[in-house]
Structure 1
Amino acid sequence: MSRGSFLDLLAQSPVKPMLEHAMIAGNCTDELGVFIAALNKNDWQGAIKSRERIVELEHEADDLKREIRGHLPKSLFLPVPRADLLDLIRLVDRLPNTVKDISGLMMGRKMQVPEGIRVSFTDFVTKAVNTARQASESVERLDDLFRAAFRGEIAKTLGVLVQRLDALEHETDEAEIAVRAELFAVENDITPIEVVFLYEVVKEIGELADRAQQVGHRLLMLVAK
């Protein structure tokens, strides 16, 4: 994002750039599903293209995070402390970072998900991505919260969104348990080193959902203050 575009957003509202950052983070986490689908079809060109898109979006999110940190006015009157908003940005920014790490590991090792666990693995990824998307969409309500001074009906709506986020994260946990059980069952059919890295990928995907849940809880803390 250009400096002029960033300042235009900041002029509209102190939290507008944070909404843009959340949208970019959501687009990046969505791309993980595209990346995994390409791998499952042995479409390496598609996987490379998707990986490049993930890296591009992660860089955009990083650049915008730095702009926000450097230009969010320290003296601006806000309903919540500036430091709390910056901490929220930090948590949101971990989502595209995690997706970049997952895709980088899988691409770097040219990993493929064993056919015997592919269905449950894809379901697991979908649930983790949905959880991350819910977190991003919750942050995108920040402008409404700001206008309402973090009170009233919009604060209640946020509570409902975060409850949904918690439910999605729980579904992801259940899906992770299922994937781990299926992976254990096929361990003897793949090389030990592949097993190690598959478990690492599963762990990172689970952490994507965990980190998304942390974003929601941080939002609730802002409202509680």
Structure 2
Amino acid sequence: MLTIARLFGKSPFSPLQSHMKKVGSCIKKLTEIFQEIENQNFEKIEALVAELSKLEHEADLTKNDIRNHLPRSLFLPIDRGQFLEILSIQDGIADKAEEIGNLLLLCPRNSLKVFTPTFQEFFKKNLETFWDTRQIIKEFDELLESSFGGAEAAKVKAMVDQTAYKEYQAEVLKTA
């Protein structure tokens, strides 16, 4: 007979947070790549893109491990499909970071010059949106402890609203 604890299973949020931390490492590395483009340090860029690819692979391994070990119990604190969707979105962020790095290596060096102020603002706003999203993922444990209600839920909802607005601002900059 299953014990109550086994019936409910362990929280899946810790592995999700671990994966998001690895995605964050990819974003940090991409930020370093853009800084080196500003410095016109092309040898360093190649090394950073290689490091980014390794970090993205580590994130993929974590993602696969989560998918392979996610319990199918009846009582996950979140719908399994929604959980896997969050994981896929996180994975997509790491994938896009790697793709951007690889595409930058394909560009002729003379085309990699200082970025326009609009692009820099766009990139910065996207970074802010990512780091806010990462913070929301970090809050999942507290949200679970509060049974997805009360002050913690209100706090996370406000964070989500703020992040959604930053995403909107980034979209506006993209079309500017």
Q: Same fold by TM-score, threshold 0.5 exceeded?
A: yes
Is the CA contact 1:30–1:129 (under 8 Å) kept in the aligned structure 2?
A: no
| Alpha-carbon distance, 1:12 to partner | 6.8
- Does 2:146 correspond to 1:148? yes
Q: Which moved more, 1:53-62 or 1:98-107?
A: 53-62
Contact 1:23–1:140 (Cα < 8 Å) also in 2? no
Unpaired runs of 5+ in structure 2? 1-8
Could you tell me whether the CA contact under 8 Å between 1:22 and 1:137 is conserved in 2? no
Quick one: structure 1 residues 91 and 72, their matched pair in 2 at CA, closer, same or farther if it must change by over 3 Å?
A: same
In the TM superposition, residue 52 of structure 1 has moved relative to its aligned partner by 2.1
Distance 2:74 2:170 in 1: 39
> Which residue of the partner structure matches residue 23 of structure 1?
21
Give, in angstroms, the shift of residue 127 of structure 1: 1.5
Aligned residues: 167
2:161 paired residue among 157, 160, 163 = 163
Tell me the residue number matched to 1:78: 76
What's 1:38 paired with?
Answer: 36
Distance 1:110-1:54 versus aligned 2 partners, 3 A rule:
farther
Deviation at 1:176, TM superposition (A): 2.0
8 Å CA contact 1:24, 1:60 repeated in 2: yes
CA distance in 1, matches of 2:15, 2:108: 36
Q: Within 5 Å, which residues of 2 pair with 1:70-149?
A: 70-75=68-73, 77-111=75-109, 112-115=111-114, 117-149=115-147
Report the TM-score, using the length of structure 1 for normalisation.
0.67
Report if aligned partners of 1:65, 1:89 keep a CA contact under 8 Å in 2.
Answer: yes
Deviations 1:158-217 (A, max 9, x none): 111111211211221232233xxxxxxxxxxxxxxxxxxxxxxxxxxxxxxxxxxxxxxx
Q: Percent identity?
A: 25
Q: CA RMSD in A?
A: 2.0
C-alpha separation in 2, matches of 1:14 and 1:56 = 25
SS at match of 2:175: helix
Offset of residue 92 of structure 1: 1.2
Structure 1 residue ranges (4+ consecutive) displaced by more than 6 angstroms after TM superposition: none
CA–CA separation in structure 1 for the residues paired with 2:51 and 2:74 = 35
Cα distance in 2 between the residues matched to 1:103 and 1:26: 15
Shift of 1:121: 2.0
1:175-194 equivalence runs, <5 A? 175-178=173-176
Could you tell me the TM-score, scaled by structure 2's length?
Answer: 0.84
Residue 56 of structure 1 is matched in structure 2 by 54
How far apart, in 2, do the equivalents of 1:64 and 1:107 lie?
A: 26
Distance 1:95 1:88 in 2: 11
Judge which range, 96-105 or 52-61, deviates more: 52-61
- Paired residue secondary structure (2:116): helix
Do the aligned partners of residues 49 and 12 (structure 1) sit closer, same or farther apart at CA in structure 2, a change above 3 Å counting?
Answer: farther
Q: 1:87 to 1:47 in 2, by over 3 A?
A: same
Secondary structure of 2:78's counterpart equals coil
The gaps in structure 1 that reach 5 residues or longer are 1-10, 179-225
Tell me if the contact between 1:69 and 1:86 (Cα under 8 Å) persists in the aligned partners. Answer: yes
